[in-house]
Amino acid sequence: MSLESIIENITDTKPRIVSVIGAGLSKASGMPTFRGEDGLWKKYRAEELATPYAFSRDQKLVWEWYRFRMRMLLRAKPNPAHNALKKLEEKNIAIGLITQNVDGLHEIEGIKNFVEIHGRIRYARCMNCNYSERWDNEESAQEEIPLPYCPRCIDSVLRPDVVWFGESLDSQRWEKAINWTNQASVLLVIGTSGVVQPVASLPLYAKQNKAIVVEFNVEETPISSFCDYSIYGPCEKTLPNFTSKLIKKLE
């Protein structure tokens, strides 16, 4: 089905759009995906390092990896897909953005209504108290510097403020994501593998509430079969095209 036909089938004159985004959206900004060939670091995969067990075993190694990621992130810029999502918000047809990404590029683009399901890599937090600090700067991202310690708790090493494999999501963030999904008349699922739960279940919640689900990805995913439409190609190209045509229709 053509892009024009998909947009014509969105008949709501005031759609309530919610977007669920994954690593594929930030790839054009220079951020590697976890599950692609570019997801390797040295001889490790992300799934081996982003765990509480890995951190308890070798804090230095895990922080070395995160500092490597931050050095890449400091060079990254939001891409046209981020800008397209910002335009939907500016036109007051987007309720909110549910992101699995921890890179913060959506916030740098200027998007205001978002929930970071898997946390935020630009911050580090103490495991003993509620202290947190921003560390996305060149000095903190250098390879050979001491481990960061909490200024309040003695001998407590800070950890990246992200959700690691094997950890539970923050209940308040997840509740917000569910509430937005239940309000959506259109759910955009962008650049996500469709295999990470519970986020992969959000399109099903949207379908139960009669929302139109539109997927943007470079290839078919496990959620493609129950999406109303799938638009294949780099989302930094397909999403701006979709949003510009939709906004033009609604004006």
Residues marked active site are found at 118
Residues, the chain: 251
Give Cα 221 to chain centroid, integer Å.
17
Main-chain dihedrals φ then ψ at residue 213, nearest 5 degrees:
-110, 120
State how beta strands 119-125 and 159-162 pair: antiparallel
DSSP structural state of residue 196 = S
According to DSSP, the β-strands at 94-99 and 44-45 are: unpaired
Sign of the dihedral through C-alpha 144, 150, 155, 159: negative
Give the CA diameter of the chain.
61
Distance CA 180, CA 18 (A): 7
